Amino acid sequence: MSEDQIGIVDYSVVMPVGLRVDDLGAIVSEIDTALNSCTQTFEIIIVLDGQMKQILEVLRTVAASNERIRVIELARPFGESAALAAGFDAAHGKMIITWPAYYQIEPEEIPKLLKEMKKGSSDMMIAVRQRSSASIDTMRRKAFHALFRITSGMTFRDLGCGVRVLDRKVAEEIPLYGDQHRFFPALAKSRGFRIQEIELEQSEKDAFRGRYRLREYLHRFLDILTVFFLVRFMKKPLRFFGTIGFLVASFGGLFTSVLVIQRLFFGVALADRPALIMASLLVVLGVQVFALGLIGELIIFAHASSMKEYAIRHVIQNGVARVPSSQISDAGRE
């Protein structure tokens, strides 16, 4: 079946394949079996993040025996976020399921996941692994989510799980880049989409066999700071930089005032005092940080006409709720 003949399907499974890979043939087969038990119209899109000759040969064999499977090979490694975005662009499904290329959730839990999604109470359903991991993994996961909750104000239990089902409009409206795929639910929630968690059985084979380096922890911390800024200050940078700049400049001004008072009323000389240089630098730094926020506001204002601040869920007319036509995707486009 060619891509033009696929048309609209109920579900598109998007599977990004990067550095961590388990038995893809077995995983795809299990997903295919699970989806066959609850729907007949679905597709599986596997996105190779770069040239992986051995994996590609395996997938050629798998795809040759199943017309529902499509394989997309990226020109070079772009990262998991880019691989997901490529899969979203190629998907024809009304709903999109993201699934990692390694074991996390038992595939037979898919019907339970889709059943909850069909209730229509959420725009994205994210899986939470039930089975307890090793103590060090549990502590690391709790620390990560606690830090994220403090910085973003959002509570999630398992952002590291890549098993999610989402409405197509969520994939179309939330841009993914860098390593922001981990925070996809948080970015969607910040746009007003309804996010719900569901506990599913964790695969017995879900075990990270590598080790995290210090660089990885630093990257995750910087990613959290990025999401913190995107969620809270993306459309109002002056509030973030302006607050910091005002505090720094105020402290510098207060420090300078103390030095001037000492000079005028107590005869303390200003010459050769490092404190005067430090106070002056604080004032200049505060003004520069404030100006950075102001420049950000001017950029936001200049592009405001092309930026959408909201997401419409339904439009009710004559007592009937409909999805706005601007959000209905041409799922069957080439």
pLDDT in tens, 79-112: 899 999 999 999 999 999 999 999 999 999 999 9
Question: What is the per-residue pLDDT for 204?
Answer: 84
Give the type of residue at 246. Answer: F
**Weakly modelled stretches of the chain, pLDDT under 70:** 1-7, 131-135, 208-212, 303-314, 316-334
Question: What is the per-residue pLDDT for 332?
Answer: 39
Only one residue has tokens 């499904």, namely 93
Domain boundaries, the chain: 3-134+156-209, 237-306
Question: What is the per-residue pLDDT for 327?
Answer: 46
In order of 9, 63, 103, 107, 164, the CA distances from 36 in angstroms are 13, 16, 20, 12, 18
In order of 139, 254, 259, the CA distances from 271 in angstroms are 54, 19, 11
DSSP annotation of 71 reads E
**CB count in 10 Å sphere of residue 173:** 17
Only one residue has tokens 């939330």, namely 174
Question: What is the per-residue pLDDT for 305?
Answer: 62
Query: How many angstroms separate the CA atoms of 108 and 91, rounded?
Result: 22
pTM score of the predicted model = 0.76
- Confirm if 285 and 248 have CB atoms less than 8 A apart: yes
Question: What is the per-residue pLDDT for 329?
Answer: 40
For residues 170, 171, 175 and 180, what is the CA-based torsion angle, rounded to 10 degrees?
100
Question: What is the per-residue pLDDT for 314?
Answer: 60
Q: What class, spelled out in words, does domain 3-134+156-209 have in CATH?
A: alpha beta
Residues in the chain: 334
Question: What is the per-residue pLDDT for 115?
Answer: 92
Question: What is the per-residue pLDDT for 65?
Answer: 85
Query: How many angstroms separate the CA atoms of 42 and 35, rounded?
Result: 8
- Confirm if 163 and 104 have CB atoms less than 8 A apart: yes
Which residues are bridge partners to 42 per DSSP?
11
Question: What is the per-residue pLDDT for 308?
Answer: 62
